[in-house]
Amino acid sequence: MLIFIIPVNIATPSMDEKDDVIPTTTVAAFSMNNSQSLSRRTRLQKGDSHVGASGFASSVDGGSSYDGHDDDGTLDIQDGADNNGKDMKNIPRLPTWLSESTPDEFVETMRKSESLPHVKYLQTMVECLCMLGKVAAAGAIICQRLRPTIHEIITSKIKAQADYVNSSRPGVGQAARTATTGLHYVKGQLQSYQLPKQKQKNGTLLAGTLLAVSPVSPVMAPMGAAQSAAKELLDSILDAIVRIFDNHVVVGELLESKSSQQAPMNTPKSMVAEISGNPDSEASRDTGGYTIGFSMTVLQSECQQLICEILRATPEAASADAAVQTARLANKTPSKEKREDGLTFAFRFTDATLSVPSQGLQGRNRKGQNVQEGYGSASLLPEQGIYLAASVYRPVLQFTDKIALMLPEKYSQLGNDGLLAFVENFVKDHFLPTMFVDYRKGVQQAISSPAAFRPRANPAAAYSPSVSKGRPVLQGLLTIDFLAKEVLGWAQAMPKFSGDLVKHVQTFLERTYERCRASYTEAVLEKQSYMLIGRHDIDNLMRRHPASACLPTSLAQANADGHVTGTDAETDGIELEMSELLMKLRPIKQESLIRDNNKLILLASLSDSLEYIAESIERFGNASGKASDQVENDVKPTPFHHKRSSSLPPKDLASFAEDYRKLAIDCLKVLRVEMQLETVFDMQVMATREYLEDQDAEEPDDYVISLITQITRRDEVIAPFIAPQKRNYVFGGICGVASHASIKALAEMKRINLFGVQQICRNTIALEQALSAIPSINSESVQTKLDHVRTYYELLNMPVEALLAFITEHDRLFTPIEYYNLLKVQVPGREVPDDAKARMADILPI
**What DSSP letter does each residue of 281-308 carry, written as one string?**
-HHHHHTTT--HHHHHHHHHHHHHHHHH
Can you give the pLDDT at residue 580?
94
* Mean pLDDT across 152-160: 90
Can you give the pLDDT at residue 49?
36
Can you give the pLDDT at residue 535?
94
- Among 68-77, 274-283, 464-473, 718-727, top mean pLDDT goes to 718-727
Left, alpha or beta for 368 (phi > 0: left; psi -120 to 50: alpha)? left
Q: Which residues is 691 bridged to in the sheet?
A: 752
Can you give the pLDDT at residue 102?
66
Half-sphere exposure of 601 (CA within 13 A, CB side): 18
Q: How far apart are CA 816 and CA 348, in angstroms?
A: 87
Can you give the pLDDT at residue 184?
33
50/449: higher pLDDT? 449
Confidence of residue 476 (pLDDT cuts 50, 70, 90): very high
* Mean pLDDT across 457-478: 84
Q: Cis omega before residue 587 (within 30°)? A: yes
- Within 8 A by CB and 6+ apart from 517, the residues are 663
Can you give the pLDDT at residue 665?
95
Can you give the pLDDT at residue 112?
80
Can you give the pLDDT at residue 61?
63
pLDDT greater than 50 at residue 73: no
Can you give the pLDDT at residue 407?
86
- Within 8 A by CB and 6+ apart from 655, the residues are none
Report the candidate in 442, 438, 512 with the shortest Cα–Cα distance to residue 477.
512
User: 458 with 720: CB under 8 angstroms?
Assistant: yes
Q: pLDDT, tens digit, for every residue of 640-667? A: 344 444 444 445 788 899 999 999 999 9
Can you give the pLDDT at residue 318?
31
Q: pLDDT, tens digit, for every residue of 511-565? A: 999 999 999 999 999 999 999 999 999 999 999 999 998 887 644 454 444 444 4
691/9: higher pLDDT? 691
What distances in angstroms separate CA 678 from CA 28, 416, 675, 707, 716, one per listed residue? 84, 70, 5, 7, 17
788/346: higher pLDDT? 788
